[in-house]
Every structure is written in C-alpha cells, then in structure tokens.
Amino acid sequence: MVDVSKRNSQQRHKNSSASRVEATDAQTPSTLYTVTVPTDMTMDDGRPLTSFSLTHVYYDPADRISFLCAWLALVPQGLCIVYASLIWSSREAEIFLMFAGQIGCEALNWILKRIIKEERPKQIYGKGYGMPSSHAQFVAFFSIYFSLFLLIRHQPHPTHTHTPFPFTHRVLLSIASLLSAAAVSASRVYLNYHTPRQVIAGCTAGTLIAIGWFIATTVLRKTGWLEWLLETQLARSLRVRDLVVTEDLMDAGWARWEERRKRRRIASAKKRG
C-alpha cells in the first residue's frame, strides 16, 4: 500500500512537470514541433530514460532562428537517407565512391575527437567531444566533393531525348550546395553545440578529405581499377554501373520510356483505325 501511494505521488509529480513544460511552450511560435516530455521520466523500477542523441537537438523555443538551426542540425541525417535512396535506385559507382568517402570522413572525425579531446561549449548539454565539429565536417565533405564532381568530372553528352544542364547551371547548383553547408556549420555555433574554432576545424578537415578523396577516385578511374572492380562478380550481381559521369541521372531509362510510349501510341492508333 505504501509502494502504490509512493508511485501515485511520483506520477502526479511527472504530470505536473509535463504540464509546466506545455504552458511554457504554448506561448512560443514553434509549439507545433515541440515535443512535451516529463522532465524526470523513469521506468517503473526507477531507472531513468534517455533520448536518442542522433536526432536530439536542444534549441531555444522562443527564438525562430534557433528553431531553424534545429532543423539544419538534421541535414546530415537527411543526406544519409539521400545516399541510401540513390545507391539503391541507381546503383551508380560514383555514388558508391562518394558515400565511401563520406563514411571515411566520419571515421576520421571520430578518431580526431578522441585524440584532441576538446570539450564542447559549457552552455550546452551535447554528448562527446567538440573538436572538430562532425556536422561541419560532414557537410563540408559533401558540398566540396559534390561541387568537384559537377564542375570537373561530370561531362554529360546530349541525347535525342535529353539536353544536359549547361555548365552555368552546375555552377549555381554548386554554390547552393556550399551555401547550405555554410548554414549548417553556422547553426552549430548558434545553438552553442560548438565554438567557432571547432566548426572551422570541421570545415577544414571535411574540405581536405573531399579534395583528397576526389583525387584518389580520379586515380582509380585513370588506372583502370574502377573498371576492374565493376567487372567483379559482386559488382555484377549488384548491377553496379558507371553512367552518371557522362549522362544525367534524370536521363537514365528515359529513352526506353519514350520508345515504349511511342509503341503504345502507334498500337492505339492502329486499333482506332
């Protein structure tokens, strides 16, 4: 009987804590996206619960810029979904190579943090070390490698069904990618997850790794190693191809679709005739 009363008392305390959070958040413009959670959530046996830190972001609900920065903090996770989707749907060797470099970049960041062991700013509750910023390093690698691919390696040829984007459009797309990376990096400082020095270090590391990996993949192509890899049984069974260098992804399969469409229209015309 004593245990039941104690548990009921704890539950009332949890509910009151949750209601106070709701009352505070209800006055802010971002209430729709703010998850109200009791501040002292525990299991029935008293063990404390924890949050999934990969997608957990602290921000000021009364600050619209802070709210935007919280969304920007999820860009790396979104890019991982983009990688997985493109690898599965296109089976392009270039995307495999870029993703391999991205994973290597993350692994090096993990190592650097444990060598340098510099703490995060005191104002935040982020887990792990802060030097260099993994978010900044991630987006710097992505934007630099993506820009190098668009401006140097990507040489699409016109077909009878498709005219590739002109070089000026690829330049604009590269600039947009770089600006987006800068916004994500700046958000880490604004949210007090990192110091400016930690973010600059992350951007520098990501840029150097992207340039180095782009050179390495160029050597793989020129020496014939990539072509050899594409002929292996594993690559053949996974249907890995290398077409995006000379054609746009949006053109893949379009010619076959156009031919099928023409055949259907001809068949329909014959039936009506």
Contact between 209 and 104 (Cβ < 8 Å): yes
Q: What is the pLDDT of residues 26-61, one digit of tens each?
A: 333 333 344 444 555 666 676 776 666 666 777 678
**CB contact set of 3 (below 8 Å; sequence gap of 6+):** none
Q: 113: closest CA among 232, 220, 238, 202?
A: 202
Cα 24 to chain centroid, rounded: 32
CA distance 35 to 18: 10
* Segments of the chain with pLDDT less than 70: 1-44, 46, 49-55, 59, 123-127, 158-163, 249-255, 273
Q: What is the model's pLDDT at position 103?
A: 94
Return the DSSP state at 26: T
> In Å, how far are 16, 160, 245, 260 from 256, measured between CA atoms?
63, 12, 19, 6
Q: 99: closest CA among 112, 86, 113?
A: 86
Q: What is the pLDDT of residues 138-169, one digit of tens each?
A: 999 999 999 999 888 877 776 666 667 777 88
CA distance 24 to 21: 5
Structure tokens at 257: 């679709």
